[in-house]
Amino acid sequence: MKFVQNHRFYLKAYTLLLCILLFPFIIFAEQLAATLPDADKILKKIDDLWRGESSRSIVTMRVKTTHWERTLTMEIFSEGTEKTYVKILKPLKERGTATLKVGNEIYNYLPKTNRTIKLTAAMMMGSWMGSHFTNDDLVKESRISEDYVPRITFAGARGGKEVIELTLIPKPEAVVVWGKLVVVVRASDLQPVEITYYDEDSNPERHMTFSDYQVVSGRLLPLYMAMIPTDKPDEFTEIAYKELIFDVSIPKGFFSLTQLGR
């Protein structure tokens, strides 16, 4: 009692000092909480990046493996999240080869033999058009927000840029092979920078990067992405959009098997 009475002044001084010192941090934290976007919101934004009512694009895909390197030019039509149609324009040898995805079903059309093959369960994990993307990726491309629970795990500067890092844990019911996904977006406009896919032991399996951000049909999005397998860092698949238009009108019945033959 006596101690406190004697040092009451000092106690008051200390408390005041503490408050003064802490004050900026408190303000800053509040601000941070106010300005940091909701993790779910970020995820939804990424999911919606390429989604429109419909889209048409011309894309070059370059695949490099240990034994060969190939560049394809493709035309892609998509409607909503369930319908995609891809047709190869170049090289000449494969011109006309097409892939039709409707919901969970994928069909490949091969012009040389004029045959359409429906992909079976066994082929789902196989690579799409020889790239590092699987057929399964094609089917699941737009479901990140449905399948994962996001959490912000880092916000700050990295490599000279302000970024936000989200760690995505698959929902218990989600049918995905990954243990977790780590998504890094630009703090300024929430544009994706990279996604790393991990197995259940937190080992990275593959790495996807994004760049070349441009405004198309009123929205900003990366027009270049690359997928690199972790165990073969010399290999990659890169996709670059040469042309991209959203909300184009696509005739009814376009996403059908009959269209595949044309």
Compute the 3-state secondary structure of the chain and give helix, strand, coil in percent, each to the nearest 5.
25, 45, 30
- Is 120 within 8 Å of 105 (Cβ atoms)? no
DSSP reduced 3-state for 89: strand
Select 116 or 191, whichever has its Cβ closest to another protein: 116
Kindly state the DSSP code that residue 231 receives in the 8-state scheme: T
Select 118 or 161, whichever has its Cβ closest to another protein: 118
Residues in contact with another protein by CB under 8 A are 63, 65, 67-70, 93-94, 97, 104-105, 108, 110, 112-113, 115, 117-125, 127, 129-130, 136, 173-179, 197-200, 205
Closest contact distance (angstroms) between CB of 125 and another protein is 4
Closest contact distance (angstroms) between CB of 69 and another protein is 8
Count CB neighbours of 30 within 10 A: 10
Q: What are phi and psi of 4, to 5 degrees?
A: -60, -45
Kindly state the DSSP code that residue 174 receives in the 8-state scheme: -
Closest contact distance (angstroms) between CB of 11 and another protein is 54
Closest contact distance (angstroms) between CB of 108 and another protein is 8
Whole-angstrom distance, CA of residue 219 vs CA of residue 212 = 13
Select 124 or 155, whichever has its Cβ closest to another protein: 124
Closest contact distance (angstroms) between CB of 254 and another protein is 22
Select 131 or 145, whichever has its Cβ closest to another protein: 131
Select 194 or 235, whichever has its Cβ closest to another protein: 235
Residues 6+ apart with CB under 8 A from 170: 147, 148, 149, 176, 178, 179, 180
